[in-house]
Structure 1
Amino acid sequence: MSPAPDTAVDPARLLDLAMRGARAAGRELLNRYGKVEGLSTKSSATDPVSDADRCSESTLVKLITSERPDDGLLGEEGADRASTSGIRWVIDPLDGTVNYLYELDNFAVSIAAEDEHGALVGVVHNPVTKRTFHAVRGVGASVDGQPLRVNDPVPMNRALLATGFGYDPDIRRQQGAMIARLLPQVRDIRRIGSAALDLCAVASGSVDAYFEEGVKAWDVAAGGLIAQEAGAHLTRTAPIAGQPGILVAGPALFDELVAALVRIRDAG
């Protein structure tokens, strides 16, 4: 963002707003759960969006703009406004839309407030479990008041790896081939269906690492901060077709996974 940061901003107040927003948007999602309306698609026939996504984002935008009218916005469902305060909110009103449509319960509201240095606060809220993960840069990460810490050290052959796949059929084929080559080198993989919850799973030690290509800023802004504040290392990576990706793991496992992905990429 080009504007100078708001030096008077209080991260605690940003976190409070993000927490209230995530829970309000979560209530909107639960009110519509099991009775989806306005279903359409975006990037492909397997990339859905519904009125639930749109109404959740509208709830967040109204709350943020009413309390911080000078802040910028970037939302998955179209919210886009330049910042004049140095703070921009990056929001995914429903991360895990397919899970939501199938009533699989693994979906979340993801909100991050960024300054010129990146994510300053992040909140990921699962409305079904009511678990709320959150972090402030340089302060740490927690879930419902309990501190989070990644698993470390974890040898690669004992690592549980979360991953995901894109919506484009050809890209998905390439991603599947890469994971097939990585699978014999790790304990197993998990496909949760929400990038935000995958990142929080790394932070909480429910999985050891997360790797996915094709993610967008709103998918990983909040969860990425939460994972890093829990001790994870994070890098942007794109071994397949230049798709923007992310790799997150505890420090010892991180280096092993980076090396493994490089070997797989270079082997073609």
Structure 2
Amino acid sequence: MIVGPAQQLAYVAADVARLAAAFVRESVGAAAAASTKSTPTDVVTHTDFESERLIRHELMVRCPGSTIVGEEFDDLAGKNSVGWIVDPIDGTVNFLYDLPVVSVSIAATINGQVVAGAVADILRGEVFDATLGGGARRDGEAISASSVSELGQSLVGTGFSYESTVRARQADRLVHLLPQCRDIRCMGSAALNLCWVGCGRLDAYFEKDLKPYDYAAGALIAAEARAMVDLPERNGEQFTIAAAPAIYDQLRGLVA
């Protein structure tokens, strides 16, 4: 079997995400906040830093000369067309509180386009991955988005900004959405929410003000699982939306 560049990068992303997830798992239940970032509620732990150091080291060993954009450290400029977008712990607040929705997210780019990605669920041990045009998988098995046909029968995931003014606007949107869907879940890991849309555990997910390291890998996984996906760089509205095709338009009309 001939393996193309995107598939090779997906293998690397999944393997490194799996290693980082195992590293983070050792600290579950013992995490402590090291500092805060955008607001006093936006925390980072020592394990976030150590996980990203591990990921950067492994990526440089396997793909020397790559560009790396990560959540916790300055960007590393590369010398070739390959880049990586890294979230060493997606769901840091959950990790801090010992809640079991925490992941590692790694996306690969070629000339700036996301072509592969992997998300490792730290507590479940599952690894989702995808390649552009090559489908999406959970632990090597193909996945697909929900076939739900009505928003009223849909379970929708969301998340909230750490900025209080943005949270207030998000709450206004929920007032309009909640009567129109089965229920809403806020679980604290954008990457996993997107993967769960891809495998049908959620019918849809939306959130405002995410960063590329939050959604790069998960959005590819959802899209390759045949969910409809819209991202901030496409819509100019700072919204990330992924949904089963039949409910996408109605959901977008309510939340965007």
CA contact (8 A) 2:148 2:154 kept: no
Distance apart, 1:17 and its partner CA: 1.3
Residue in structure 1 matching 2:158, options 154, 163, 168: 163
Structure 2 counterpart SS, 1:228: helix
- Is 1:94 aligned to residue 85 of structure 2? no
CA distance in 1: counterparts of 2:187 and 2:133, whole angstroms: 28
CA contact (8 A) 1:154 1:208 kept: no
Change (3 A) 1:142 1:162: same
Q: Structure 2 counterpart of 1:84, which letter?
A: K
Change (3 A) 1:256 1:117: farther
CA contact (8 A) 2:32 2:46 kept: yes
Query: Which residue of structure 2 lines up, in the alignment, with residue 110 of structure 1?
Result: 105
* TM-score in terms of structure 2 length: 0.93
Query: Which residue of structure 2 lines up, in the alignment, with residue 30 of structure 1?
Result: 25
Residue in structure 2 matching 1:234, options 205, 229, 247: 229
Q: Structure 1 counterpart of 2:39, which letter?
A: S
Distance apart, 1:117 and its partner CA: 6.0
* TM-score in terms of structure 1 length: 0.89
* % identical equivalent positions: 37
Distance apart, 1:11 and its partner CA: 2.1
CA distance in 2: counterparts of 1:175 and 1:122, whole angstroms: 28
Distance apart, 1:65 and its partner CA: 1.1
Equivalent residues in 2 for 1:78-157, closer than 5 Å: 78-116=73-111, 118-157=113-152
CA distance in 2: counterparts of 1:43 and 1:164, whole angstroms: 16
Change (3 A) 1:178 1:22: same
Report how many aligned residue pairs link the two structures.
252
- Is 1:257 aligned to residue 251 of structure 2? yes
Distance apart, 1:13 and its partner CA: 2.0
Residue deviations 1:149-178 (CA, integer Å, cap 9, x gap): 111242111111100000011111111111
Residue in structure 1 matching 2:211, options 208, 216, 222: 216
Structure 1 counterpart SS, 2:144: coil
- Is 1:66 aligned to residue 40 of structure 2? no
Distance apart, 1:12 and its partner CA: 2.5
Residue deviations 1:23-74 (CA, integer Å, cap 9, x gap): 1111221122212245211000110001110000000000111222211010
Structure 2 counterpart SS, 1:60: helix
* Ranges of 4+ aligned residues in structure 1 off by more than 4 Å: none
Q: Structure 2 counterpart of 1:132, which letter?
A: V
Unaligned regions of 5+ residues in structure 2, if any? Answer: none
Query: Which residue of structure 2 lines up, in the alignment, with residue 248 of structure 1?
Result: 242
Structure 2 counterpart SS, 1:88: strand
Distance apart, 1:207 and its partner CA: 0.8
Unaligned regions of 5+ residues in structure 1, if any? Answer: 1-7, 263-268
Query: Which residue of structure 1 lines up, in the alignment, with residue 178 of structure 2?
Result: 183
